[in-house]
Amino acid sequence: MWAYFIMPAYNSTTGGPMGMFQNSTKETKEFEKIILEIEKERDTISWAHTTIQSCLWNLENPKVERWVIDWCVRDLRENLNKKEEANAKLQYLKYTKLRQQMFMLNMTTNPDKFLDDLDELKKQKGINNLWKEEQYKEWREDIKKHPEKVGKLHITEDSFTFEFGDKNKKN
């Protein structure tokens, strides 16, 4: 059995979240769910790494104020913990859950090789992270249902204001 990568969106025909498989089954749906969980942890690791680098950059400034140092130390601690937790979850997902599901689907490669191949397919399709794409899809659908949630940022020389649309107001 081999995966056919289509698009990172819910496939109403097969019932799978991403539509990776032509004929979706309980096992393939679980496989897709594990892949989304892996992508979520990868996103968390990336976000934490970026935030940690930003804090370190701020702390390198010789003129940094005490409140910035306190904020950065707290933020570093939180993001180092998030990154460590996400790395542990990622290892479990890859080498326990994904490996087991691949075995059930008679896939002959290992989790790392499969994920490398998937990353290459994502790159070809212009997709950075499948979990993020799912989030964007949900946000777009929510905005279509609730356009009043969209706001406008107004920037002037001395202020920032943010106003939300009013669904009762006629334009």
pLDDT digits (tens, 9 = 90+) for 89-100: 999 999 999 999
pLDDT of residue 14: 36
Task: Check if the beta carbon of residue 86 is closer than 8 Å to that of residue 45.
Answer: yes
pTM: 0.75
pLDDT of residue 4: 32
Tell the residue number behind the tokens 């990336």, with chain if given: 46
Per-residue pLDDT tens for 124-140?
999 999 999 999 999 89
Would you list the domain boundaries of the chain? 26-164
Task: Give the CA dihedral 52, 58, 62, 66, nearest 10 degrees.
Answer: -100
* Backbone φ, ψ for residue 5 (5° rounding): -80, 120
Separation of CA 119 from chain center: 14
| Whether pLDDT at 164 is above 50 | yes
